């Protein structure tokens, strides 16, 4: 409290860089570095038998170092600038999504890339952050103490639905879910009535059966059946859809309490699990470090995200609070969905485990989220005008 009081006494313009850095929650940063190290070790274990993949762990570490730098840069940008940048960022990204729809590059059956000069960008990734900022900005301007009203949430819904629909069409089911999930968390935070939430839940449950019967194609229905079968422990066709998840379960289960030892997991070492260095990296950790290792990683993440919520709670501005919760929700969605998927609790949709899975995009998105979170932390006492640039 003493530190907060001292910080609040200093105006932003008076701060030195060293002073600002000293204020950062270094414990949180240390935990992020730890997670990335665990990811690098798991990658090393899962790839060292294959000479073609020998460079992956090193590239993972380098990417993390770069992302860490980007996080600090974002963190040091004053929160007021993020507030003013929110709408432009959202609409530019939305325009890029429309651009993808019109002139996008198609790779692997999905149209997600936009060629901007020499580089190909994936606007849907930017949208995760932009949407969070836009919703934060929207509620910062419009949410007042008397606004328990339902209608205030309709524009927010609209802000979510438009990019979500565009991304769904690419198609990119994982990112769509991420946007809807983090957006829903923000609407919930803004105080949507419980009776409406309950109604939405009931409607969702009620529509499951008709959707299964009349909307899904045969092959989709087959996938749902397979998923439900393995969930209830029935034997599934292990050569088909169920193969990956079955092998993942064998890997995780065989880890037991303490795991089979670093680089000793047969499932991982013999390449039994497709995508084991990307989406299914948790199987390597669970197999080789056991229950202790897997829950350890989950606990670390829970601590990081919890810390994020504490930062949100301490923010004096609505924008800061909503932006922080949105960032936490975005990262949390990835973690929860990825782990649930690897554990066979939800159908396999390509969602990576942040900082652990190999892959650049999710790493940058994640670290950018933490950059915003740290920026909120630094600017936690800024009250911020509701009159922005836009």
Partner 1 sequence: MSSELDFESRLNRRTIITGAAGGVLFSGLVARLVQLQLFEGERYKEIANENGVKLDLAPPIRGAIYDRFGVPLASHRQAGRVSIVREQTPDMDATLAGIARHIDLPMDERQRVIQQARSQASFQSTIVKSELTYEEFARMTLLAADMPGVRADMAATRSYPRGRDFAHVLGYVAKASSDDLSRLTENASPEEASLLARLFRHPDMRTGRSGIERAAEGWLRGEPGFRRLETNAAGRVIRELESDDLAPTPGRDIGLTVDAELQRAAIDRFGDESGAAVVLDIETGAILAFVSTPAFDPNDFVNGISYADYNALRENDRSPLYHKAYDGTYPPGSTFKMVVATAALEAGINPDQRVYCNGYYRFGNRTWHCWKRGGHGNVDMHWAMKGSCDVYFYDIARKIGVEHLADVSRRFGFGQVWDLGLTGGRGGTVPDDAWKRAALGEPWYEGETLNYGIGQGYLSASPLQLALMSARIAAKGRLIEPYIIGEGPRPDKPIPYAEPLDPDHMQRMMDGMYGVTSEAGGTAWRSGDLGLGGPRLAGKTGTAQVRRISEAERRSGVLKGDEIDRRLRDHALFVAYAPADDPKYAISVVVEHGEGGSSTAAPVARDILATAIRRDSRAAARWQQTASASGSGNGGGNP
> What does the DSSP assignment read for 107-174?
ETTEEEEEEETTEEE-HHHHHHHHHHHHHHHHHHHH--TT---STTHHHHHHHHHHHHHHHHTTT-HH
Q: How far is the CB of 161 from partner 1 (least distance, A)?
A: 21
- Cα distance between residue 354 and residue 362, in whole Å: 6
Q: How far is the CB of 116 from partner 1 (least distance, A)?
A: 36
Total residues in contact with partner 1, by rule CB under 8 A: 49
- Cα distance between residue 246 and residue 132, in whole Å: 36
252 binds partner 1 (CB under 8 A): yes
Site string for partner 1, 176-195 (x = CB under 8 A): ---------x--xxxx----
Q: Judge whether 77 and 308 are in contact, CB under 8 Å.
A: no
336 binds partner 1 (CB under 8 A): yes
Q: Give the CA count within 13 Å in the CB-facing half-sphere of 198.
A: 3
The alpha carbon dihedral of 113, 115, 116, 119 has a sign of positive
76 binds partner 1 (CB under 8 A): no
Identity of the residue, 113 or 301, whose beta carbon is nearer to partner 1 in the bound complex: 301
Identity of the residue, 249 or 380, whose beta carbon is nearer to partner 1 in the bound complex: 249
Q: How far is the CB of 200 from partner 1 (least distance, A)?
A: 15
- Cα distance between residue 151 and residue 167, in whole Å: 25
Q: Which stretch binds partner 1 (CB under 8 A): 23-31, 96-104, 172-180, 334-342?
A: 334-342
38 binds partner 1 (CB under 8 A): no
- Cα distance between residue 369 and residue 70, in whole Å: 10
Strands 105-107 and 110-116: antiparallel
H or E element, residue 208: helix 194-210
Q: Which stretch binds partner 1 (CB under 8 A): 21-29, 69-77, 112-120, 253-261?
A: 253-261
For partner 1, the binding residue among 86, 281, 323, 339 (CB under 8 A) is 339
Site string for partner 1, 139-178 (x = CB under 8 A): -----xxx--------------------------------
- Cα distance between residue 39 and residue 336, in whole Å: 16
Q: How far is CA 226 from CA 109, 236, 346, 351, in A?
A: 24, 7, 11, 19
Q: Judge whether 157 and 208 are in contact, CB under 8 Å.
A: no
Identity of the residue, 94 or 324, whose beta carbon is nearer to partner 1 in the bound complex: 324
135 binds partner 1 (CB under 8 A): no
For partner 1, the binding residue among 345, 360, 385, 390 (CB under 8 A) is 345
For partner 1, the binding residue among 111, 225, 254, 386 (CB under 8 A) is 254
For partner 1, the binding residue among 38, 156, 294, 356 (CB under 8 A) is 294
Contact residues toward partner 1 (CB under 8 A) are: 144-146, 185, 188-191, 247, 249-257, 266-267, 269-273, 286-287, 290-291, 294-295, 298, 301-302, 305-306, 309, 312-313, 321, 325, 329, 332, 336, 339-340, 343-345
């Amino acid at each position: 409290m003493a530190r907060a009081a001292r910080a609040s006494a200093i105006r932003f313009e008076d701060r030195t860089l060293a002073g600002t850095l000293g204020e950062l929650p270094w414990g949180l940063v240390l935990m992020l570095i730890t997670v990335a190290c665990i990811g690098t070790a798991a990658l090393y274990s899962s790839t060292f038998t294959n000479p073609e993949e020998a460079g992956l762990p090193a590239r993972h570490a380098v990417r993390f170092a770069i992302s860490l730098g980007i996080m600090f840069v974002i963190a040091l940008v004053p929160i007021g600038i993020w507030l003013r940048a929110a709408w432009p960022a959202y609409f530019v990204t939305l325009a890029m999504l429309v651009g993808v729809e019109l002139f996008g590059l198609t790779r692997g059956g999905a149209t997600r890339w936009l060629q901007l000069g020499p580089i190909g960008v994936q606007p849907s990734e930017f949208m995760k952050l932009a949407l969070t900022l836009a919703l934060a900005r929207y509620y910062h301007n419009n949410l007042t103490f008397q606004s328990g009203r339902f209608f205030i949430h309709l524009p927010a819904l609209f802000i979510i639905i438009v990019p979500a629909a565009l991304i769904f069409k690419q198609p990119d089911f994982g990112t769509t879910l991420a946007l809807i999930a983090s957006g829903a968390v923000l609407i919930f935070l803004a105080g949507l009535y419980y009776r409406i939430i309950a109604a939405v839940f009931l409607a969702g449950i009620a529509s499951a059966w008709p959707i299964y019967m009349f909307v899904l194609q045969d092959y989709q229905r087959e996938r749902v059946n397979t998923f439900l079968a393995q969930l209830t422990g029935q034997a599934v066709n292990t050569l088909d859809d169920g193969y990956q998840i079955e092998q993942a379960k064998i890997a995780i289960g065989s880890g037991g309490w303490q795991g089979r030892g670093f680089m000793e997991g047969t499932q991982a070492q013999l390449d039994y699990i497709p995508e084991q260095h990307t989406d299914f990296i948790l199987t390597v950790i669970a197999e080789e470090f056991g229950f202790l290792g897997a829950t350890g990683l989950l606990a670390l993440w829970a601590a990081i995200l919890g810390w994020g919520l504490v930062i949100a709670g301490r923010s004096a501005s609505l924008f800061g609070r909503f932006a922080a919760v949105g960032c936490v929700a975005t990262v949390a969605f990835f973690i929860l969905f990825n782990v649930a998927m690897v554990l066979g609790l939800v159908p396999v949709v390509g969602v990576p485990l942040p900082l652990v899975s190999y892959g650049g995009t999710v790493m940058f998105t994640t670290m950018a989220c933490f950059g915003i979170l740290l920026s909120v932390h630094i600017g936690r006492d800024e009250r911020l005008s509701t009159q922005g640039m836009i």
